[in-house]
Amino acid sequence: MKHAPSTAPSRNFGSPPDAKTVTLEISTVAPGRSTRAARARPSLARAFRLIHYWASLFLVVTTLVVAVTGILLALKKDFDTLQPPVAQSSAPGLSNLRINQLLADIKTRDGFEGITWRDLDRIDIEPADGIAKVILASRTEFQVDLHTGEVLQTGYRTSDLLESIHDFSFVGNFGKYLFSVPTGVALLAMWLTGTYMFILPFWVRRRKRRRS
């Protein structure tokens, strides 16, 4: 009984595969480092763009607050409405005036008769001007002559209010954790991602030039 000849192509295992087959096998089985890097770069760039985008949304309000209050605080010595100017005292230098003596003349002012140390925020001593700035928790400032104990000037410290807004402490002690620290972290993230996205196109073009 005769068998019909097979029409299937013969497979010569002794002959090497053609060049096309070799190329396909190499590119499929063993991709190079450049291929993996090319795939990783777009995903990293996309992640950085997302971080940059959402960080900018958070910073829209907080950065505006910090910028505006920072400008006003830088100019507080130039505008009396931001910070009362320093009054002229009887003489420069320090004296033996006690703290309760600094408060004596303040207590004679209307609305401040019952003032005590609990109402104080701080006392700033300026020896060069011979002035003690008695600042209440209400941000009212009394400039007292260090030698006579006389109140020379009274004013409201708008700059102190601006400082509390600038560092978000006006919302309470937790303000630094709720706004200040996240704002700093977001600004750092914006700087890192922005720097990366700025440098990336130059780096890609440089690699292309090296390959060509």
End-to-end CA distance of the chain: 65
How long a stretch of residues is the chain?
A: 212
**Integer Cα distance of 196 and 52 in angstroms:** 11
C-alpha–C-alpha distance, residues 207 and 202, integer Å: 9
Identify the three-state secondary structure at position 112: coil
pTM above 0.85, yes or no: no
Q: What is the mean pLDDT of the chain?
A: 81
Residues of the chain whose pLDDT is less than 70? 1-42
C-alpha–C-alpha distance, residues 13 and 162, integer Å: 85
Residue 184 CA to its chain's centroid (Å):
3
